[in-house]
Amino acid sequence: MIKPSYLYIVVVLLISSCNVDQLDVEGLKLSENTGLYAFPIGETTYQLMELLEDADSTLAIDTDENGMISFSFLEVDTIGLAEESDEQDIDLNLFVRQSVDFPISSFNIPLFETFESGSFLLENPELNFTIKNELRMPLAIGLVIWGEKLDSLGELDSIPLNIYDAFFDLSDTLKSISNLGLTDTAAVSSTFITLNKTNSDFDQFLGKTPETIYMKLSMVANADLDTGVIKVFLPPDTIPDREFNAGAQIFTSMELELPMSIDLADLAVPVDLDSISVDVDVATLDSLQLRVVTYNMLPFGALLNLQFLDASGVVLYSLEEGFQVLANPPLNSINFNVKEPEININQVWLTGEGIDALNDTQTIKIIMTLNTTDGAPNIYTPLLEDYTLEVKISGKVRLSYEL
């Protein structure tokens, strides 16, 4: 009996010794088995809506007819003027420039998740103040706004909101909310103050993801007088019809409007690929190729990097090479609706270190770097629910057989 290995040699010799024109190859199949074995490792689907996964339930959510999402927030407060004046030993019956500091107000805005790096901008964020006073005297306000968040080291980081000088109508950064003429007082007056990216850096301020926003409001009575000057009305001046109202109150409302049209710049978003499965004993492998398939339903491209983590979250291995989701999917230029996914396949061979790390890997961390533009002016993308990026990771090994 001829052993299989000898039979193989005989067949090869016969084929090589024959004239190809005389050889009947019909029905002869060369084996397609190249020794490759592929197995799935895991998959995940990322929705761009997950940028808002920390959105506070107190925020009102609205979706327009095109599916674009907007957030809004309303905070109302009442300040007792007489009480604050007494605590600060201020006599508002005098015609003198006097300041009253009101309690600091704040509200939480845990809107955006924590990012690895990069930044985002909102196209048209707007913060509106309505202020009504019952004080019968010329009045102006000072306004300071800042945010706070915990940094990566757990330390509190203060984020100032810069309001441009052009926003104020007084040289000392005060905003008048009633006529500043001393002889022209109003029993009730109100004003609207709007902060946006034209008169402040409000868009960049929000892009730094403050978790809490603070507002310090101060009031200046008789703001058109110099400091220390007491106005005494002498004939022929007429003393204005004004008397300090002990029950006077200041009413404030703060309304935040956030249409979710965003610009992303190298925004690194982490996504964990849990429940991974490796069906081979990687300790016996000489080589392993990772296959990363992406189905891009985002209106822009993405760059993916992978990290192998153990059960304690320690990074065992990082791929130096990123997987570029190269092409942007077809877009409707008006409403940014994605018609079909852009499919990209990337493959990379793991080093021995990577194979060893995979043996103890419990989680694969995918870091998605997102950009809405590539070196172009800011282009804002409406945030829609159907923007997704699906990632499938599999392994491919070459097996050796002994006959």
SS3 content of the chain, % helix, strand, coil (to 5): 10, 40, 45
Tell which residue, 221, 245, 215, has the closest CA to residue 83.
Answer: 245
Average confidence (pLDDT) over 269-284: 74
The Cα–Cα gap between 115 and 117 comes to: 5
Beta bridge mates, 40 = 394
Q: Which of 169-173, 280-284, 332-336, 353-357 has the highest mean pLDDT?
A: 353-357
Confidence of residue 250 (pLDDT cuts 50, 70, 90): confident
**pLDDT band with cut points at 50, 70 and 90 for residue 213:** confident
Beta bridge partners of 368: 269, 304
What is the band of 329 on the pLDDT scale with cuts at 50, 70, 90? low
Lowest-confidence region among 62-76, 122-136, 203-217, 257-271: 62-76
Structure confidence at residue 110 (pLDDT): 65
Where in the chain is CATH 2.60.120?
Answer: 36-50+264-398
Question: Which secondary structure element, helix H or strand E, spans residue 255, and what is its range?
Answer: strand 249-259
| Chain segment 149-198, per-residue pLDDT in tens | 887 788 888 999 888 765 666 656 677 666 667 776 666 666 778 889 88
Could you give the 3-state DSSP secondary structure of residue 59?
A: coil
What pLDDT is stored for residue 401 in this prediction? 47
Looking at domain 36-50+264-398, does it have CATH number 2.60.120? yes
As a whole number of angstroms, the distance between CA 170 and CA 257 comes to: 27
- Per-residue pLDDT tens over the stretch 225-237: 888 888 888 888 7
Q: What's the pTM value of the predicted model, to 2 decimals?
A: 0.70
Per-residue pLDDT reduced to its tens digit, 10-23: 333 233 334 434 33
Q: What is the DSSP letter of 399?
A: -
